[in-house]
């Protein structure tokens, strides 16, 4: 267990070259142009390294994500076949930004199972990672699209990207939506981004059990949001 109050942002994306000075065995992941965009770490005590990476993010500018997809897509560069865009566009859905200077400190207490690997991504904030990697795991949506949504949820609810696979994402939500209006709004947004979460649920279609209503129930008081795409 790791507890650390820190602002989830860095002044600038970090430099992967620092890993060599730390003596950490790693594999550099590059984009199609040969530019380093991430480092894959599979050796060492990952359960111990992960919270240290989290705690130091505001200094290093290297955001860590859990992954259990060791060969696919990181080593095959599958993500990186999509459009590479280092700066994601703003979220185009409904968005209520926090007032300037009102970005809260959050408590990180990840309770995820030990990962097969940790991917370190140079980024200013966790939400940028899918765009920086050209992630295409959601099918119809690009890494830019997903990053825009994550930026909004990160600002509004402290939802930070913690794990990523070839077709799934996991968020830790530090300040979940509370009011009925917030719950419905987020449920509608999630349904647009990842309709498959509830589309096959047996309760959907029964009286009073619409997809949106079910999503509201699933996210209420939940500190983890998990998305997957077929």
Q: What per-residue confidence (pLDDT) applies to 139?
A: 78
Would residue 93 count as lying in a domain? yes
Cβ 79 vs Cβ 73: under 8 Å: yes
pTM for the model = 0.80
Would residue 59 count as lying in a domain? yes
- Give the tokens for residue 8: 């989830």
Indicate left, alpha or beta for 71 from its phi (over 0: left) and psi (-120 to 50: alpha).
alpha
Within a 13 Å sphere around the CA of 49, how many CA atoms are in the beta-carbon half?
25
Would residue 207 count as lying in a domain? no
- pLDDT tens string, the chain, 230 residues long: the values are 333 344 689 999 999 999 989 888 999 988 878 889 999 999 989 989 999 999 999 999 999 999 877 655 555 555 554 443 334 333 333 323 333 333 233 333 344 566 789 999 999 999 999 999 888 888 788 889 999 999 999 999 999 999 998 888 999 999 999 999 999 999 999 989 988 877 666 565 565 568 888 889 889 989 999 998 87
Cα separation, 14 vs 103, in Å, equals 21
Q: What per-residue confidence (pLDDT) applies to 106?
A: 34
Would residue 209 count as lying in a domain? no
Would residue 115 count as lying in a domain? yes
Cβ 170 vs Cβ 163: under 8 Å: yes
Would residue 158 count as lying in a domain? no
Q: What per-residue confidence (pLDDT) applies to 195?
A: 84
Distance of CA 61 to the CA centre of its chain: 15
Would residue 139 count as lying in a domain? no
Would residue 192 count as lying in a domain? no
Among residues 154, 127, 159, which one has the least CA distance to residue 143? 127
- Give the tokens for residue 34: 């040969």
Cα separation, 44 vs 21, in Å, equals 16
Radius of gyration of the chain, Cα coordinates, nearest whole angstrom = 17
Number of separate domains in the chain: 1
Range of the domain at 85: 4-124
Among residues 138, 160, 128, 144, which one has the least CA distance to residue 227? 138
């Amino acid at each position: 267990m790791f507890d650390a109050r820190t602002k989830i942002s860095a002044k600038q994306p970090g430099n992967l070259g620092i890993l060599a000075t730390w003596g950490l065995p790693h594999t550099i992941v590059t984009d199609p142009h040969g530019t380093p965009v991430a480092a894959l770490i599979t050796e060492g005590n990952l359960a111990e390294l992960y919270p240290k990476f989290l705690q130091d993010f505001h200094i290093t500018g290297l955001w860590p994500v859990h992954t259990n997809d060791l060969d696919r897509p990181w080593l095959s560069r599958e993500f990186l076949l999509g459009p590479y865009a280092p700066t994601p566009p703003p979220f185009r859905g409904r968005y209520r930004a926090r007032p300037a200077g009102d970005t809260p400190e959050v408590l990180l207490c990840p309770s995820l199972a030990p990962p097969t690997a940790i991917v370190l991504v140079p980024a200013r904030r966790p939400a940028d990672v899918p765009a920086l990697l050209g992630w295409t795991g959601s099918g119809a949506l690009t890494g830019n699209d997903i990053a825009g949504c994550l930026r909004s949820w990160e600002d509004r609810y402290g939802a930070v990207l913690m794990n990523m696979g070839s077709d799934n994402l996991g968020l830790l939500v530090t300040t979940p939506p509370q009011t009925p209006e917030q719950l419905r709004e987020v449920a509608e947004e999630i349904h647009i981004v990842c309709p498959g979460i509830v589309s096959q649920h047996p309760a959907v279609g029964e009286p009073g059990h619409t997809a949106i209503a079910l999503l509201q129930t699933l996210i209420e008081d939940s500190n983890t949001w998990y998305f997957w795409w077929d």
